[in-house]
């Protein structure tokens, strides 16, 4: 059907073959995923605003319309952290679930994984930043509604290192939750039909393990979720804490990659 001789056709076709590296493709994917998932940040802001409601411990009173008294007893950032962690978990699941989108443009398992992980890290950094500035944001919000906002003396004494510490630890903790959710999402994509069954079997084994543990080791045998958190939260050495957190993230990354490697796009 072509009007060109075969050799010229072949030469023309060879001239349009490209060989970009996986990293170049992955970087393009990061930009693309970031662009298409930009709504995620709106969700984060909304969730954090919801978190502010739970963060305040306040009381209100009014005197016959003459005056209005609004007192914050204290503000705890825990609700903000919980909301942000919830958001990271959703993002981890969403990115893992989108593995069926490898049809989309140019991709393979490695570039898809690489860009997902990079995006999770960007999410964690932005979540860390927003959480770090939550105190200042609270002050701004309060200034909108009240003439006088008095800061607690301890708040005023926060230095740059405190802020950096808040940001650094927050970012890494968010990343742990995001990576864990990503791993679970990958396992779900990988094993599909067996995922529910596998979860049920795992829960049963845990329950059985607990029953047998108590039976053989007595009531001294206990393991709660608090023990798991304490492993990180009560670590007093910064270096040890950093090692624990980084190793945890690395293990989650490696397991995720093992889950995604050789995954077929068969949806």
Partner 1 sequence: MIRCKELTKYFTGTRALDGCSFEISEPGITGVIGVNGAGKTTLFKSIAGFLKPTNGEVYVLEEPAFQNITVAQNVILIEEGMNFYQSGNLQELMDTYSRFYLNYDMKLAKGLLRYFNLSGALKYDELSKGMASTFRLILALSARAPITLLDEPTSGMDPGVRKDLYDIILKDFIQVPRMILISSHYLGEMERILENILFIHEGKVLKHGALEEFETLLIAIQGAPSLVRSLEDQFAVYETKDIGEGLRRIVVEKSEFDHSKIAEELRASLTIQEISPEDSFVYLTRRKGGGIDELYHS
Q: Note whether 61 binds partner 1 by CB under 8 A.
A: no
Site size toward partner 1, by CB under 8 A: 41
Q: Note whether 91 binds partner 1 by CB under 8 A.
A: no
Q: Note whether 45 binds partner 1 by CB under 8 A.
A: no
The C-alpha angle with vertex 189 and arms to 95 and 186, in degrees rounded to 5, equals 55
Q: Give the residue, chosen from 103, 145, 216, 234, that forms a contact with partner 1 under the rule CB under 8 A.
A: 103
Decide whether 1 or 220 has the Cβ nearer to partner 1. Answer: 1
d(CA 28, CA 259): 23
- If one counts every other C-beta atom within 10 angstroms of the C-beta of residue 185, the result is 24
Contacts of 33 (CB under 8 A, 6+ apart): 95, 115, 116, 119
Q: Give the residue, chosen from 45, 105, 197, 207, that forms a contact with partner 1 under the rule CB under 8 A.
A: 105
Q: Note whether 258 binds partner 1 by CB under 8 A.
A: no
User: What does the DSSP assignment read for 115-145?
Assistant: HHHHHHHHHHHHHHHHHHTHHHHHHHHHHHH
Q: Give the residue, chosen from 45, 46, 49, 106, that forms a contact with partner 1 under the rule CB under 8 A.
A: 106
Shortest distance in whole angstroms from residue 49 CB to partner 1: 22
Shortest distance in whole angstroms from residue 259 CB to partner 1: 14
Nearest alpha-carbon partner for 261 in 68, 148, 67, 109: 109
d(CA 55, CA 72): 10
Task: With contacts defined by CB under 8 A, name the span among 18-26, 52-60, 118-126, 134-142 that binds partner 1.
Answer: 18-26
Q: Note whether 94 binds partner 1 by CB under 8 A.
A: no
Which single residue is written with the structure tokens 């699941």? 93
Contacts of 34 (CB under 8 A, 6+ apart): 119, 122
Q: Give the residue, chosen from 41, 101, 149, 253, that forms a contact with partner 1 under the rule CB under 8 A.
A: 101
Decide whether 13 or 160 has the Cβ nearer to partner 1. Answer: 13
Q: Are 91 and 127 in contact (CB under 8 A)?
A: no
Decide whether 4 or 203 has the Cβ nearer to partner 1. Answer: 4
Q: Are 46 and 130 in contact (CB under 8 A)?
A: no
Q: Note whether 42 binds partner 1 by CB under 8 A.
A: no
Q: Note whether 18 binds partner 1 by CB under 8 A.
A: yes
Q: What residues line the site for partner 1 (CB under 8 A)?
A: 1-4, 6, 8-10, 12-14, 16-22, 25, 28, 31-32, 36, 39, 100-111, 262, 264-267
């Amino acid at each position: 059907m072509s009007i060109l001789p075969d050799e010229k056709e072949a030469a023309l076709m060879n001239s349009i073959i490209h060989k970009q590296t996986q990293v170049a493709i992955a970087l393009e994917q990061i930009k693309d995923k970031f662009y298409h998932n930009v709504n995620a940040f709106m969700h984060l802001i909304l969730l954090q605003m919801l978190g502010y409601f739970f963060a305040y411990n306040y009381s209100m009173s009014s005197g016959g319309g003459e005056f209005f008294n609004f007192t914050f007893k204290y503000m705890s950032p825990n609700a903000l952290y919980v909301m942000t962690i919830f958001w990271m978990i959703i993002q981890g699941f969403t990115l893992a679930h989108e593995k069926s989108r490898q049809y989309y443009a140019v991709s393979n398992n490695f570039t898809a994984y690489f860009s997902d992980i990079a995006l999770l890290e960007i999410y964690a950094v932005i979540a860390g930043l927003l959480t770090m500035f939550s105190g200042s944001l609270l002050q701004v919000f309060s200034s909108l509604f009240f003439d006088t906002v008095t800061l607690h003396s301890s708040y005023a004494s926060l230095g740059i290192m405190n802020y950096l510490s808040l940001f650094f630890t927050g970012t890494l903790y968010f990343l742990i939750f995001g990576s864990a959710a990503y791993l679970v999402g990958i396992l779900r994509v990988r094993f599909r039909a067996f995922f529910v069954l596998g979860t049920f079997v795992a829960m049963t084994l845990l329950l059985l393990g607990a029953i047998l543990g108590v039976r053989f080791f007595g009531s001294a045998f206990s393991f709660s979720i608090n023990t798991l958190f304490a492993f990180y939260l009560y670590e007093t050495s910064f270096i040890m804490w950093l090692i624990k957190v980084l190793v945890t993230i690395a293990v989650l990354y490696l397991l995720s990659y093992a889950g995604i490697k050789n995954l077929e796009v068969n949806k």
